[in-house]
Amino acid sequence: MIRLEPLKEVSKGLLYVTPAIAVIVTILLGTVMFAVLGKDPVQAISIIFLEPLTNSFAISEMIVKATPLILIGLGLSFGFRAGIWNIGAEGQFTVGALAGGAVALALHEVEGIWVLPLMCLAGILGGMAWAAIPAFLRTRFNTNEILVTLMLTYVAVLLLSVMVHGPLKDPEGLNFPESRLFHESAILPILIEETRVHIGFLVALAAVLVAWVILRHHVFGYQVKVMGQSPRAANYGGFAQQRVVWTCLMISGGLAGLAGLFEAAGPVGQLVPALPVGYGFTAIIVAFLGRLTPVGILLSGFVMALTYIGGEAAQIEMNLPSAVTGVFQGMFLFSLLGIDVLARYRIQVSRPAWAAEK
């Protein structure tokens, strides 16, 4: 008989080693998958996971893609700790980009250093507003936030499409569904010359620091932990669960909105229907792979960014569809969840009862 015995204390050491094991397991599974699909596994794996690391431009692109992942993942981690499942960050990202982008377009003849901060504010508020819907419905009507946030993602993407086909369409363009290019004051300053790395990355790093301080030293960090581990204890503890729900959704919505605005005002430089490319969903994996800790999320943001860069390289060099990125991301989460059993349970191999009696 093999049995799993839950550990009283979750093994701290293993908790941080298992994500690394998950990465290795994923690469092994990927090798098997490519072999089954009849592609050269060694070549595919090295293109996806190794080559991007040897090339300075690819590394800069990793930073560009890690920026939204870290921001969104950090926001989500608070809710996930408390058992509040915002899985619609993609929608909050989209509405944030839309709101901030609309400010940029409205001010397209105005120059000034205050334009960008105003856009960021609009982006944060846009994301918060979109997340306020599930927060309100959950606290007022007891409605499951998983399904509401997800449904709102589809609505947000359609909303972006309506806007760039109509009110926000470039009046001087060739009738393509896209906004005009943002003007100079509305574009994020570049951090490293000749790359697309923008100052949003510094904001993401600052957010990591702030999140670390909150979780460690602020009572709110304590509240989300208690609420996640025991909602009833949270009740007895006397703090309002409703407020934790609101705060978690506002943090994740605001950060996702900011990430969306950064994407529009950074690498993309305008509003297009294809702006949301799945960062909101990938960030869920980033949060888990990072163990819901700020520093972990910083690292796992880079690992997941690597799957994007590697996926693009595989697309160009091996004619694989870009969907290979999603396959690897799914496998990452699968392996992590599977291997987690090592950190949370003790595997007991017990002899059957008749053997023990002898």
Q: How far is the CB of 54 from other proteins (least distance, A)?
A: 25
Q: Of 150 and 258, which has the nearer Cβ to other proteins?
A: 150
Within its chain, how far is the Cα of 28 from the centroid? 24
Helices (H), ranges, the chain: 12-36, 41-45, 56-81, 89-106, 115-141, 145-165, 200-217, 219-229, 231-236, 241-263, 279-289, 294-318, 324-339, 341-344, 353-357
Residue 53: how many CA atoms within 13 Å on its side-chain side?
Answer: 9
Binding site for other proteins (CB under 8 A): 3-6, 37, 85, 87, 137, 140-144, 146-148, 150-152, 154-155, 158-159, 161-162, 165-166, 281, 284-285, 288, 320-321, 323-331, 333-334, 337-338, 340-341, 344-345
CB 152 to other proteins: min, Å:
7
- Residues with Cβ within 8 Å of residue 33, at least 6 apart in sequence: 327
- Angle between helix 115-141 and 89-106 (nearest 10): 140
Neighbours of 25 (CB within 10 A): 18
State the Cα–Cα distance between residues 260 and 122, nearest whole angstrom.
11
Q: What are the φ and ψ backbone dihedral angles of 257, each rounded to 5 degrees?
A: -60, -40
Sign for the CA dihedral angle at 58, 61, 63, 69 comes to negative
Task: Note whether 283 and 76 are within 8 A (CB).
Answer: yes
Cβ 209 to other proteins, closest distance in Å?
A: 26
Closer CB to other proteins, 214 or 318, in the complex: 318
Q: Which is nearer to other proteins, 57 or 154 (CB)?
A: 154
Return the number of the residue (173 or 321) whose C-beta is nearest other proteins.
321
The nearer residue to other proteins, 158 or 210, going by C-beta atoms, is: 158
Nearer to other proteins, 267 or 326 (CB): 326
Shortest reach from residue 151's CB to other proteins, in Å: 4
Stated as kind and residue range, the H or E segment containing 352 is none
Q: Give the residue with the Cβ less far from other proteins, 150 or 259.
A: 150
Query: Closest CB to other proteins among 54 and 142?
Result: 142
Say which residues have a Cβ less than 8 Å from residue 323's Cβ, sequence separation at least 6: none
- Least distance (Å) between residue 357 CB and other proteins: 16
How far apart are CB 285 and other proteins at their closest, in Å? Answer: 7
Shortest Cβ 215–other proteins spacing (Å): 20
Question: Nearest to residue 77, comparing CAs of 308, 296, 331, 343?
Answer: 296
Q: Which residues contact 207 (CB under 8 A, 6 or more apart)?
A: 70, 71, 74, 255
Rounded CA-CA distance 156/211 in Å is 27
Pair 339, 21: CB distance under 8 Å: yes
Least separation in angstroms between residue 225's CB and other proteins is 16
Nearer residue to other proteins within complex by CB, 12 or 140: 140
Q: What is the nearest approach in angstroms of other proteins to the Cβ of residue 245?
A: 15
